[in-house]
Amino acid sequence: MAPTTMNARVPLSALNAAQALAEVSSAWDDSIVPQLKDYIAIPAKSPMFDANWQANGYIDTVVRNTAAWIAAQKVSGLTLEVIRLEGRTPVLFFEVAATQSQSTQTVLMYGHLDKQPEFSGWRNDLGPWTPKMEDGRLYGRGGADDGYAAYAAIAAIQALTTQNAAHPRIVGLIETCEESGSYDLLPYIDALKVRLGDVGLVVCLDSGAGNYDQLWLTSSLRGMASGVLKVEILTEGVHSGDASGLVPSSFRIMRQVLDRLEDSATGRLLPASFHCEVPAERLTQARATAAILGEEIYRRFPWAHYDCGGSTAFALPTTTDPLEALLNRTWKPTLSVTGADGFPTLGNAGNVLRPYTAFKLSLRLPPLVEASTAVQELKTLLEDNAPYQAKVTFEGMSSATGWNAPDTAPWFEAALNDASSAHFGAPCGYIGQGGTIPLMNMLSKGFPKAQMMVCGVLGPKSNAHGPNEFLHVPYAKKLTAAVAQVLSAFPG
């Protein structure tokens, strides 16, 4: 797609927060929500989940549609293009010149358009590719994670330009490989390094919110290492009555191997190298956030429940202490089994001793633990000295080191609080997130002096990656306006 250019506006003014919110709200109602409904309907799964993504064309479709919408907004001074490196997923790149010639630094706005797979368990009247608006929530896969980001970024910029408000040079980078670990992103950053310029602020619209009552800044992100652990004991299935007791179960061997990694009674990861000390500033912020959110930190999840003698009993979290709960999901390593192979369905499960068991492992790592080192340690730990000399293999699929935010500059802290107060009536909150955004560690290394506005719409029960994912539209409107206000406060 050839670059599209619009003309700049003068003279300059300060941003009116109320007007900005009215403008972005109108954009969301009239244009963005309809666009996101179309986006949700397209199964643009990330390459890890769609090996034939190029032939299927879904990623190209959502990129093309987003680019067409951006061009149609006719944002003053904006240039736009789709960039494609050979053999890699495409990216959208846009640029808006600074309103003041003396401004030298750049704001980088980030989002992604690729999606997680469907998953099961959607409500009967909902589905991953069937968008539905209900009580201000837009249901469907990818709307909140992270299809809205490109649209919100443009709406925020448009709020600045329509008011002729002063703003720095702004560039946007919207990728399509994030849910696969962003393995295509670094080559694009290298290719665009000169065009990115001196980045002084990153606005990443791919994170979460502690509640829907204030602006939330992500202060840390966990890292991640995923792979497939496979235990093979036979070349084919055999009669369980004939072989059990003599042939060890591949599932029992799997349990033994995982016991090297995790204390199954507590969930604590055993290798000391997978842990790190929580920095004092993050601990202070966690205490403040725990005081704000309280029990909502764990009540937000859809706990299983059942009848127990006339009353309803609920499954329990690992802890009900708000501070400990917050730290467990942001600064502690955790193992999850997210998939399995080698098992027949229940309806087809006969009396057969299975030849192998395979689990897909997702290991969340504290923000300061190097992921590549952890993967190598994990492989050695799981594979060496296998019980019964079974064939045990761990094949890593993707990994990304976590991220800890840099010190907050005074102007940035003031801008966040002003924006949150203006649009939510409450100060900005700080929260670590348990998820991973590979870009953030890359950008912190590439632009060590940049401030990082990592935020998003993934608040309570929004359930990204799972069933019934939704985008909280009223919150998204206020977040968009808050981003515009922070951009107008940038001192570069």
Lowest mean pLDDT among 49-53, 309-313, 422-426, 431-435: 309-313
pLDDT of 4 > 70? The answer is no
Share of residues in the chain with pLDDT > 90 (%):
92
Cβ proximity of 202 and 108 under 8 Å: yes
pLDDT of 376 > 50? The answer is yes
Q: pLDDT tens-digit profile of 299-347?
A: 999 999 999 988 999 999 999 999 999 999 999 999 999 999 999 999 9
How far apart are the C-alpha atoms of 450 and 192, rounded to whole Å? 17
- Residue 94 is predicted with a pLDDT of 98
Average pLDDT value for residue range 343-371: 97
- Residue 140 is predicted with a pLDDT of 98
Residue listed under structure tokens 């099961």: 120
How far apart are the C-alpha atoms of 394 and 218, rounded to whole Å? 32
Q: In the chain, where are the structural domains located?
A: 4-221+402-489, 223-278+331-400
Strand order across the beta sheet in which 216-221 lies: 403-404, 216-221, 429-433
Average pLDDT value for residue range 397-420: 95
Residue listed under structure tokens 């993504």: 53
Share of residues in the chain with pLDDT > 70 (%):
97
Question: Residue 163 has what DSSP assignment?
Answer: T
pLDDT of 7 > 60? The answer is no
Q: Quick one: pLDDT band at residue 102, thresholds 50, 70, 90?
A: low
- Which amino acid is residue 217, in one-letter code? L
Residue listed under structure tokens 């859809």: 302
| Average predicted confidence (pLDDT) for the chain | 95
- Residue 11 is predicted with a pLDDT of 53
CA 489 to chain centre: 26
Q: Quick one: pLDDT band at residue 282, thresholds 50, 70, 90?
A: very high
How far apart are the C-alpha atoms of 408 and 201, rounded to whole Å? 11
What does 51-74 look like in DSSP terms, one character per residue?
Answer: TTHHHH-HHHHHHHHHHHHHHHT-
| Ramachandran region, residue 312 (left: φ > 0; alpha: ψ -120 to 50; beta: rest) | beta
Instruction: Tell which CATH classification among 3.40.50.300, 3.40.630.10, 2.40.50.140, 3.60.10.10 matches the domain 4-221+402-489.
Output: 3.40.630.10
What are the two backbone dihedrals, phi and then psi, of residue 336, each rounded to the nearest 5 degrees?
A: -130, 140
- Residue 6 is predicted with a pLDDT of 42
Cβ proximity of 32 and 148 under 8 Å: yes
pLDDT of 492 > 80? The answer is no
Average pLDDT value for residue range 40-61: 98
Compute the radius of gyration of the chain from its Cα atoms. Answer: 24
Average pLDDT value for residue range 260-277: 97
pLDDT of 214 > 80? The answer is yes
pLDDT of 8 > 50? The answer is no
- Residue 443 is predicted with a pLDDT of 85
Q: pLDDT tens-digit profile of 453-474?
A: 999 999 999 999 999 999 999 9
Residues with Cβ within 8 Å of 242's Cβ and at least 6 positions away in sequence, in order, are none
Q: Quick check: helix, strand or coil at residue 296? A: helix
By CB atoms closer than 10 A (0-12, 13-18, 19+), residue 136 is: middle
Q: Quick one: pLDDT band at residue 1, thresholds 50, 70, 90?
A: low
- Residue 201 is predicted with a pLDDT of 97
Of 489, 483, 420, 425, which is closest to residue 454 (Cα–Cα)?
483
Lowest mean pLDDT among 98-102, 104-108, 266-270, 395-399: 98-102
- Residue 9 is predicted with a pLDDT of 38
Alpha-carbon distance values, 282 to 209, 310, 458 (Å) = 16, 43, 20
5 versus 240: the higher-pLDDT residue is: 240
Q: Residue 226 is encoded by which pair of tokens? A: 């995923």
pLDDT of 41 > 80? The answer is yes
- Residue 89 is predicted with a pLDDT of 98
Of 111, 159, 129, which is closest to residue 43 (Cα–Cα)?
129
Instruction: Tell which CATH classification among 3.30.70.360, 3.90.1200.10, 1.10.357.10, 2.60.40.1220 matches the domain 223-278+331-400.
Output: 3.30.70.360
- Which amino acid is residue 144, in one-letter code? A
Q: pLDDT tens-digit profile of 403-413?
A: 999 999 999 99
Q: Quick one: pLDDT band at residue 132, thresholds 50, 70, 90?
A: very high
Of 228, 168, 147, 234, which is closest to residue 15 (Cα–Cα)?
168
Q: pLDDT tens-digit profile of 155-164?
A: 999 999 999 9
Q: Quick one: pLDDT band at residue 174, thresholds 50, 70, 90?
A: very high
pLDDT of 480 > 90? The answer is yes
How far apart are the C-alpha atoms of 64 and 67, rounded to whole Å? 5
Q: pLDDT tens-digit profile of 188-203?
A: 999 999 999 999 999 9
Average pLDDT value for residue range 224-238: 97
pLDDT of 475 > 90? The answer is yes
